[in-house]
Each structure stands twice: as structure tokens, then as C-alpha cells.
Structure 1
Amino acid sequence: MNIPKLKRIKVLSEQELRNWLGKNSEQEQEVMIITCNKKSRDKYLSRDQVRSALNEHGWTAGQSYTLNGNLIGHVVSHT
């Protein structure tokens, strides 16, 4: 599996994700949002939480990837 080489933005909470999305509403380039999986309970964001935040800010989720350790990468683009 080839993981795309995109700019990576690590977020540790839903609020941090929403803040980044709001500040980058003019972004046209695809990026990879990095979140933690269920093993990191206090930092975990579900796929539904990520997709909801993306939709509210005009972003679209693409493929997700399991990265090293407890990280998940979500490829996203602004619509």
C-alpha cells in the first residue's frame, strides 16, 4: 500500500481539527489529517467526528490509512 506524501496536520481533539479547518478554508491542496486511534482514548477522534467536522467546513474525506504506532491519516481536500 502506497501512502501519499502530503502535508500532514496532526490534531489531538475535535476542537483542534475544527480550528484548523476554519483557519484553512482557502486551502486548495490535499492534506493528510493525522488523528489517534482508539488505543489513545483521550485523543481519539472517530471517523464520524472527522467527517462531520470536514463537512461543516466544506472539506471532503478521501482514503484513510493506518500509520505507525497509534496514528491514522485521513486524506482530505477542500471542495
Structure 2
Amino acid sequence: MKRRFRFPRWSLVPIGGEPDVPVTAFTLRCLWVDDDGRACGAGSGPREDSDAAKRWAWGHGETCREHVRFSGRITRPWTMRIDGPL
């Protein structure tokens, strides 16, 4: 029996002081979170689980420790605020 993964409550915080944008299944396709908790890549590039995708993710894939998949995409720089445990 497959266990269903429950996403924590978290928000995207666009760079520039704009209001928080809730993360939903339609917000972005993939992201990597670096050691400071910032998202360092998102979009619809190469396969998300490949090394090429990590390098493609704004050139910061090598610094990231988490990889979370969503559908959709986001096209501007942003940071992430986590309201619950990963």
C-alpha cells in the first residue's frame, strides 16, 4: 500500500517584497532548496531527477539539498518560507 505524501504549509516569497504566493500543485514544476532554505531552481527544463536538471536550475543545483516536484512552473526569482517541517 502506497503512503500518500502530505506537503507542509509553505509559501513562495517573490523577490522584491511582493505578497506571499501559496505553493500549490499548479505553482511550479520543480525546485531545489539550498542550505539557507532558499529555492534555487524551478521550471520545466530537463528531467527533474537528472544531474543536467540540477545544473540547469539557475546554475545552483550543486548547492541544493531538497528536490520537490510540482506541476506547472514559475518564471521569476523567488525565495521560499517554510511554515512546517519538510
Higher alpha-carbon Rg: 2
Larger relative contact order (CA 8 Å, sep ≥ 6):
2
User: Which TM bucket (shorter chain)?
Assistant: 0.3 to 0.5
Query: TM-score under structure 1 normalisation?
Result: 0.32
Query: TM-score under structure 2 normalisation?
Result: 0.31
Which is helix-richer, 1 or 2? 1
